């Protein structure tokens, strides 16, 4: 079990990133908070060690994406979702500068991940492939298709 010091450290280091990945996948604050806690709970119980801070960060990225996917899968098995929480998390989109973000969020889930990791976290396609456990060519294809969609919707420079 990880120490309190370790937990505090990774909370400072990765909380925003975990929150953003949750935002990219999830639609309401309640889900985000649950997945956020789940991710840190997994860290608390993780018995392994990390070779470097990059390794640690990549672990958080992978675990958060998986936690979101699992959450959505579990959610899809539910018969109903309260209406009021459906778009709660996306209230941030009301800001005028968020046309880009809104477009990103409308991308298919797999494209959202690569776009976020590539543009925001500045991972290379090779690194993304490792984190997601996909072939490099797959990541290149997803990036290319995601850029095509963004270019089509937003115009401008999306290289």
Partner 1 sequence: MSSAQNKIQKSMENIRATEEMKQNTLQYLETQRAKQGRGIFQWKPYTALRYVMAVICIFLLAGTGGYAVYSRPVSYISIDVNPSIELAINCFDRVVSAKGYNEDGQDILEHVSLKNISYQQAIDRLLQDAYYSRFLNQDSLLVVTVISGHSDAMLEQINANDSFQALGALTYSSDAACMDEAHQHEMSFGKYRAFLELAQYDTSITVEDCHSMTMGEIQDRIRTCQGHSGSKAVEKHSTQHANEHSGSHGHR
116 binds partner 1 (CB under 8 A): yes
Considering the complex, what minimum distance in angstroms separates the CB of residue 15 from partner 1?
4
The length of the chain is 159
* Choices 16-24, 53-61, 70-78, 126-134 (CB under 8 A): range interacting with partner 1: 16-24
44: burial class by Cβ within 10 Å (0-12, 13-18, 19+)?
middle
Judged by CB under 8 A, which stretch of 40-48, 52-60, 67-75, 80-88 contacts partner 1? Answer: 40-48
| Helices marked H in the chain | 4-25, 29-45, 53-77, 99-105, 109-115, 125-132, 136-154
Nearest distance in Å: CB 32, partner 1:
8
Site for partner 1 in 58-97 (CB under 8 A): 92, 95, 97
Confirm if 72 and 27 have CB atoms less than 8 A apart. no
The alpha carbon dihedral of 103, 109, 114, 119 has a sign of positive
Q: Does 13 bind partner 1 (CB under 8 A)?
A: no
- Are 84 and 78 within 8 A, CB to CB? no
Q: Per CB under 8 A, does 36 bind partner 1?
A: yes
Stretch that binds partner 1, among 67-75, 77-85, 131-139, 148-156 (CB under 8 A): 148-156
Determine how many CB atoms are found less than 10 A away from the CB of residue 111.
20
Interacting residue ranges for partner 1, rule: CB under 8 A: 1, 4, 7-8, 11, 15-16, 18-20, 23, 32-33, 36-37, 40-41, 44-45, 92, 95, 97-98, 100-101, 104, 115-116, 119-120, 122, 147, 150, 154, 156-159
């Amino acid at each position: 079990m990880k120490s309190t010091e370790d937990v505090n450290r990774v909370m400072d280091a990765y909380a925003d990133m975990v929150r953003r990945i949750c935002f990219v996948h999830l639609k309401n604050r309640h889900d985000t908070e649950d997945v956020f806690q789940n991710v840190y709970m997994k860290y608390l119980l993780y018995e392994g060690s990390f070779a470097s801070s990059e390794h640690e960060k990549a672990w958080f990225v992978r675990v958060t994406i998986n936690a979101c996917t699992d959450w959505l899968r579990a959610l899809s098995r539910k018969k109903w979702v309260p209406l009021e929480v459906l778009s709660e998390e996306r209230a941030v989109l009301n800001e005028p500068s968020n046309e880009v973000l809104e477009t990103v969020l409308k991308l298919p889930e797999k494209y959202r991940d690569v776009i976020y990791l590539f543009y925001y976290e500045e991972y290379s396609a090779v690194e993304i492939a490792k984190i997601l456990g996909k072939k490099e060519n797959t990541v290149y294809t997803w990036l290319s298709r995601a850029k095509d969609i963004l270019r089509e919707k937003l115009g401008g420079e999306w290289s």
